[in-house]
Amino acid sequence: MFKRLRRNTNLFSVTSILAGLLIIIPMLNILTEVMTPASDAWLHIRRVLLQRYIVNTLVLIGLVAVFSALVGLFAAYIVTRYEFKGRKLLSWFLILPLAVPSYIAAYVYADMLSYTGTFSRFLRAGNIGLTIDIMNMSGAVFIFVMTLFPYVYMLTRSALQKQNAAFLENARLLGASRAEAFYSVVLPLLRPALVAGTLLVVLETLNDYGVVAYFNVRVFSFAIFDAWFRLGDTVAAIRLSAILMIIVFAIIFIERLIRGKRRFSGNAKPKPVPRMPLSGPWRFILPGLLWVIMALGFFIPLAQLLYYASLTFTDVFNTGFVFLVINSLTLAITATLITVFVALMLANYNRGRKSSFKHALLKITNLGYAIPGAVIAVAVMLFFIDLDHMFYPLYRLINPESARLILTASLAMLTFAYVLRFMAIGYNSVEAAYDKVGEKFTEAAYSLKTSKLKTLLKVDLPLIKTGLISAAIIVFIDVIKELPLTLILRPTNYDTLASSVFRYAREEMLQESSVPALVMILISSLLIFFLTHQKKGVTANVR
Amino acid sequence: MRKTALFLSVTTILFLLYGCMLGVATDGESITVFSERHYDTDQTLFDQFEQETGITVNIIDGNADPLINRLENEGEDTMADVLLIADAGRLHRAKDKGLLQPIESDILFENIPSNYRDADNYWFGLTKRARVLVYHPDRVDESELSTYEALTEPKWEGRIVTRTSTNIYNQSLMASFIEIMGEDEARTFAEGLVANFARTPAGNDRDQSKYVVQGGADVAIMNTYYIGRMMNSSDPFEQEVAETVRVFFPNQETTGTHVNVSAAGVTRDSKNQEGAIRFIEFLSSEAAQSAFANANFEYPVNENVAVHELLESWGAFKPQDINLSKLGIHSYRASTLMDEVGWE
């Protein structure tokens, strides 16, 4: 018994189990609150508001899912299957909208379309009496689709690149038209990637608070904050999150159903589908449409922000601003390193023999992505206050006059929350990297009696280096954009780029918020450039 | 195995050190302010306080409710000494939850009229803002405007615009109505107003005035200081909007225009009560009031301090004659009532 325990105790299992515990304890803390009797506020919500929240949420995610899937798939298909001028540039440009946080896009578009906005003035100058009201459900759908479709685009693009030309050729030989071949061969093969990308978009949409609050679109994330803040009822807020979590799990379950158990794996070396040159008017129409998507999702907001930055740069840019950038960077780097490290441990732990315990543990550690940011914030804060109470004797030992809330007052709390929130993204990226190399090298090393740590350092890490870097970049971009956790959990006198954007926006000073917003977008864009241009590394030679 | 243990303990220690390092308090006397207000001009004032008293001011800024929630969660260990919030209703909520403590300060009693501070001295108003009607002079004649209630008349159908019901200022407006005219009449008012909305509420206060200039609506209900802020906006086109619209103070013949305050209180578990009280006293002093209020185009509570010339140009007005604690007492009912009449 002891021997077995000892054999199973290693860096991977210990870190994984520790991570699982650290994630589940704060959540349990909060779930117990659901069991308390219904409050007045909850009865009020159920009677007057709940139906509306459910309908709105379903409409919003339904529309966002359909349109982002269409846009993402369209873009990926054109970029991978046709040859045209500017294709290479577009193929990574189309990921850039991810660098623009949805809430910033919402502020910018609402501003441009408002009476004083660039767009409305342009129309008035041309004597066109058209006004577009973006602050509603369709506006929110537009914002989410334009800033989140790259998730679908990235996944479907890489799936399309891996598709085997042989399948398509066979279909055509058997007399299928191009359209038939697309519907009966290309699309079914793409389904897992398409569904997975759309799922990411839906989860991000459900988690957003900035856009829906500004546009007053009453969906669940809005409802949770509303119950918590306006009605002052934490328990009602948690009940609403519980309902949201049920919706999320239902969606994930549906995704599993749609994706099905079928695995389409082809040859080790698929024959790539050759790109066709575009002819006639299509030469302009198809790339033109892609540039329109790029403009809406990236260049237009960017240009507007640049203009505002030119107005306010001198007011906003000072030494304090440099600290904002440093704060954002150090915080995001720390959170990213921890997330990727734990994700790596989890992925290693999950290799080899599968067990239901491992399976459950992974589900738990990946929970953060499905839980609304506000709930994570409350849970983490309560957890850290408990921790501080527990460690208080220790603090006293070091410094007899120590305050009790040490960790709570530090960056550790916020960093922990980030890790919890983005673990799923980190884990999935690391696992994808491991999937590509398989387990044969690792097993070979183990069979040669190399220790687990040494195998990890000498064998696995070099193999999955590029995958790890990608994982780190994706997590980093998410952390630097993150808003609700940052606002609620940051220590005193501590501002980041995101919190400063929000502060200016709350004071209705959009022009001033442009400088931090731009820096944030710039950092993320650079990383996306790096992500799409890094050398394929060793993995390219391993199959 | 041993390596694993070593590695894990080293990372744990590093993590703890990292945490502690970033949480150490600075030397010397300091106070920590949980603040909803954090204009760049406020910071200048805080620096001035620091210079005069040698007390360092640490700020955590955020929205009112998360700050109150944080105060509640931290309990007796909180590092906050002062809670500074731009709505009397929310301060009342903090008082209700037992998060504040009463203060006896002759300076505060003298500087701040009794209407604008808590009846039990738990919080003190520092700057006033009025929630007024902003209209387009081409489409509305001043003589057509009289009271908030008159906006429920059929002639205003599709012509009124204001923020959402989640907005604190609208909740406090409704709460003041519940106090003044009772719940039933307040409900009738809200129903009538919603029936006349030009659109489903969205956006912030500036957006409401832009919508009026754009022609989407004729009258906006909004706070005074946004007009001042827009007149001084870094965007020249916003200045144009602010100069186009006119400000009207409703209910002058009747119950008075709705007024709310930015206010501050000392937290129950403040570790530096004295510093906290000095801070609030400083903000209510004649020297600080004009900077504190004028920078944001608000009315100073200290009656010895002159109002900004822009506000002066709008003339004096009669405010609602209620103690602002009432805004907090009725705030929950005001919220549910707005939901019930379909004010989104």
CB contact under 8 A, A14 and B69: no
Contacts of A6 in chain B (CB under 8 A): 1
DSSP character at residue A534 = S
Q: Which amino acid is at A329?
A: L
The residue-averaged pLDDT of A361-370 equals: 78
Q: Please name the residue of chain A whose CA is at the shortest distance from the CA of residue B212.
A: A115
pLDDT at A475: 92
- Please check whether residue B244 touches A, CB under 8 A: no
Contacts of B200 in chain A (CB under 8 A): 136, 216
Q: Beta-strand (E) ranges in A85-161? A: none
Q: How far away is chain A from the Cα of B104, in angstroms, using its nearest Cα?
A: 27
Contacts of B216 in chain A (CB under 8 A): 131, 133
pLDDT at A301: 95
CB contact under 8 A, A44 and B336: yes
ipTM: 0.79
The residue-averaged pLDDT of B95-122 equals: 93
Each residue's pLDDT tens digit, B82-103: 999 999 989 999 999 999 999 9
Q: Please name the residue of chain A whose CA is at the shortest distance from the CA of residue B203.
A: A214
pLDDT at A146 > cutoff 50: yes
Residue of A135, A232, A412 lying closest to B15 (CB–CB):
A412
Contacts of B32 in chain A (CB under 8 A): 492
Nearest by Cα to A208 from A75, A304, A64: A64
Q: Please name the residue of chain A whose CA is at the shortest distance from the CA of residue B90.
A: A230
Each residue's pLDDT tens digit, B126-135: 999 999 999 9
CB contact under 8 A, A491 and B22: yes
A268 pLDDT tier (thresholds 50, 70, 90): low
The domain ranges of chain B are 29-128+261-306, 129-258+325-340
pLDDT at A163: 80
pLDDT at B27: 58
Contacts of A56 in chain B (CB under 8 A): none
pLDDT at A262: 56
CB contact under 8 A, A231 and B240: no
Q: To which CATH superfamily is domain B29-128+261-306 assigned?
A: Periplasmic binding protein-like II (3.40.190.10)
Q: What is the largest CA-CA distance in chain A?
A: 84
Torsion from C-alpha of B200, B203, B206, B207, nearest 10 degrees: -60
Q: Please name the residue of chain A whose CA is at the shortest distance from the CA of residue B206.
A: A508
- Please check whether residue B336 touches A, CB under 8 A: yes
Q: How far away is chain A from the Cα of B343, in angstroms, using its nearest Cα?
A: 11
Contacts of A413 in chain B (CB under 8 A): 19
In chain B, residues 83-112 whose CB comes closer than 8 Å to chain A: 93
Pick the residue of A53, A111, A230, A413 with the most B CBs within 10 A to test the interface with B by mutation.
A230
A260 pLDDT tier (thresholds 50, 70, 90): low
The residue-averaged pLDDT of B289-318 equals: 89
CB contact under 8 A, B200 and A136: yes
pLDDT at B2 > cutoff 80: no
Nearest by Cα to A499 from A332, A384, A382, A367: A332
CB contact under 8 A, B69 and A378: yes
CATH of span B129-258+325-340: 3.40.190.10
| Mean pLDDT rounded to a whole number for chain B | 89
A55-60: long-range pairs with CB below 8 Å, 24+: A56/A137, A56/A217, A56/A218, A56/A219, A57/A206, A57/A219, A57/A220, A57/A244, A57/A247, A59/A137, A60/A137, A60/A140, A60/A141, A60/A144, A60/A205, A60/A212, A60/A217, A60/A219
CB contact under 8 A, A487 and B62: yes
pLDDT at A333: 94
In chain B, residues 13-32 whose CB comes closer than 8 Å to chain A: 15-16, 18-23, 25, 32
Pick the residue of B339, B340, B343 with the most A CBs within 10 A to test the interface with A by mutation.
B339
Are the CB atoms for B226 and B239 separated by under 8 Å? no
Q: Which amino acid is at A26?
A: P
Lowest-pLDDT choice from A147-151, A265-269, B313-317, B332-336: A265-269
Q: Please name the residue of chain B whose CA is at the shortest distance from the CA of residue A404.
A: B77
Contacts of A55 in chain B (CB under 8 A): none
pLDDT at A264: 52
CA distance A189 to A200: 19
pLDDT at A540 > cutoff 50: no
pLDDT at B19: 53
CB contact under 8 A, B166 and A230: yes
Q: Which helix (H) or strand (E) holds A364?
A: helix A356-365
DSSP character at residue A274 = P
**Domain range A1-37+320-495, CATH class:** mainly alpha
In order of A345, A500, B138, B294, the CA distances from B62 in angstroms are 36, 10, 39, 22
CA distance A69 to A200: 11
Neighbours of A480 (CB within 10 A): 27
**The two structure tokens encoding residue B252:** 């002058």
Contacts of B3 in chain A (CB under 8 A): 11, 451, 453
Q: A277 in helix, strand or coil?
A: strand
pLDDT at A295: 95
Q: How far away is chain A from the Cα of B106, in angstroms, using its nearest Cα?
A: 31
CB contact under 8 A, A405 and B77: yes
pLDDT at B92: 92
pLDDT at B3: 64
Which residues, 6 or more positions from A5, have their beta carbon under 8 angstroms from its beta carbon? none
Q: How far away is chain A from the Cα of B110, in angstroms, using its nearest Cα?
A: 31
CB contact under 8 A, A216 and B211: no
- Please check whether residue B9 touches A, CB under 8 A: no
pTM assigned to the model: 0.85
Tell me the backbone φ, ψ of residue A149, rounded to 5 degrees.
Answer: -55, -25
CB contact under 8 A, B199 and A133: yes
**The two structure tokens encoding residue A358:** 């491992």
- Counting one residue from chain A and one from chain B, the pairs whose CB atoms sit within 8 A come to 173
Lowest-pLDDT choice from A47-51, A159-163, B204-208, B302-306: A159-163
Tell me the backbone φ, ψ of residue B173, rounded to 5 degrees.
Answer: -60, -50
Q: How many CA atoms lie within 13 A of B275 on its CB side?
A: 22
Are the CB atoms for B249 and B255 separated by under 8 Å? no
Domains A1-37+320-495 and A54-262+285-316 share a fold: yes
Each residue's pLDDT tens digit, B6-61: 666 666 666 555 555 454 445 578 999 999 887 777 888 889 999 999 999 998 88
Neighbours of B28 (CB within 10 A): 8
Pick the residue of A33, A109, A136, A216 with the most B CBs within 10 A to test the interface with B by mutation.
A216
CB contact under 8 A, A487 and B203: no
Contacts of A39 in chain B (CB under 8 A): none
CB contact under 8 A, A230 and B16: no
Which residues, 6 or more positions from A455, have their beta carbon under 8 angstroms from its beta carbon? A442, A445, A446
Residue of A10, A385, A490 lying closest to B73 (CB–CB):
A385
The residue-averaged pLDDT of A109-131 equals: 84
Q: What kind of architecture, by CATH, is found in domain A54-262+285-316?
A: Orthogonal Bundle (1.10)
Beta-bridge partners for B30: B56
Pick the residue of A50, A115, A307 with the most B CBs within 10 A to test the interface with B by mutation.
A115
Each residue's pLDDT tens digit, B230-266: 898 888 888 989 999 999 999 999 999 999 999 999 9
Kindly report the three-state secondary structure assignment for every residue of chain B: CHHHHHHHHHHHHHHHHHHHHCCCCCCCCEEEEEECCCCHHHHHHHHHHHHHHCCEEEEEECCHHHHHHHHHHHHHHCCCCEEEECCHHHHHHHHHCCCEECCCCHHHHHHCCHHHECCCCCCEEEEEEEEEEEECCCCCCHHHCCCCHHHHCHHHCCCEECCCCCCHHHHHHHHHHHHHHCHHHHHHHHHHHHHCECCCCCCCHHHHHHHHHHCCCCEEEEEHHHHHHHHCCCCHHHHHHHHHCEEECCCCCCCCEEEEEEEEEEECCCCCHHHHHHHHHHHHCHHHHHHHHHCCCCEECCCCCCCCHHHHHCCCCCECCCCCHHHHHCHHHHHHHHHHCCCC
Q: How many CA atoms lie within 13 A of A65 on its CB side?
A: 17
Contacts of B74 in chain A (CB under 8 A): 385, 405, 408
Pick the residue of A17, A21, A114, A495 with the most B CBs within 10 A to test the interface with B by mutation.
A114
Instruction: Please report where in the chains the tokens 């209703």 appear, as a residue.
Output: B89
Neighbours of B287 (CB within 10 A): 14
pLDDT at A269 > cutoff 70: no
**The two structure tokens encoding residue B6:** 């070593």
Lowest-pLDDT choice from A40-44, A335-339, A371-375, B148-152: A371-375
Nearest by Cα to A196 from A236, A144, A154, A240: A154
The residue-averaged pLDDT of B143-157 equals: 94
CB contact under 8 A, A411 and B213: no
Are the CB atoms for A172 and A181 separated by under 8 Å? yes
Each residue's pLDDT tens digit, A394-449: 888 887 777 777 888 788 999 999 999 999 888 888 887 887 777 778 888 888 88
Q: Please name the residue of chain A whose CA is at the shortest distance from the CA of residue B236.
A: A116
Rounded to the nearest 10 degrees, what angle do helices B286-294 and B40-53 cross at? 160
The domain ranges of chain A are 1-37+320-495, 54-262+285-316
CB contact under 8 A, B199 and A378: no
Lowest-pLDDT choice from A106-120, A248-262, B219-233: A248-262
Contacts of A9 in chain B (CB under 8 A): 1, 4
Contacts of A509 in chain B (CB under 8 A): 229
Lowest-pLDDT choice from A82-96, A220-234, B114-128: A220-234
CB contact under 8 A, A229 and B65: yes
- Please check whether residue B213 touches A, CB under 8 A: yes
